[in-house]
Structure 1
Amino acid sequence: MSQENITREELAPKASEMMKAHNLQEVYVCSDKQGFTEKERANDHSRYLIDKKVHHFTSDSVLVYEEGKKAPVAEIVETKTDDERQQLVARYEELFGKKPNHLTGVEKLKTQIQEKETELELASKSEETIQNTTPAPELPLEEKSDELKENSEQKSEENPADKKED
Structure 2
Amino acid sequence: MISRRAFAIGLGLVPLGVGALADERFEVELTEEEWRERLTPAQYAVLRDHETERAYTNELMGERSPLLEESRDGTYTCAGCEQELYRSETKYDSGTGWPSFWEAIDGAVGTRDDYSMFLIRRTEVHCARCGGHLGHIFEDGPEPTGLRHCINGLAMNFVPD
Range into which the TM-score falls when normalised by the shorter chain: under 0.3
Q: State the TM-score, normalized to the length of structure 2.
A: 0.22
Q: Answer with 1 or 2: which has the greater Rg.
A: 1
Structure having the higher helix fraction is: 1
If asked which structure has higher relative contact order (CA below 8 Å, sep 6+), I would say 2
Structure having the higher strand fraction is: 2
Q: State the TM-score, normalized to the length of structure 1.
A: 0.22
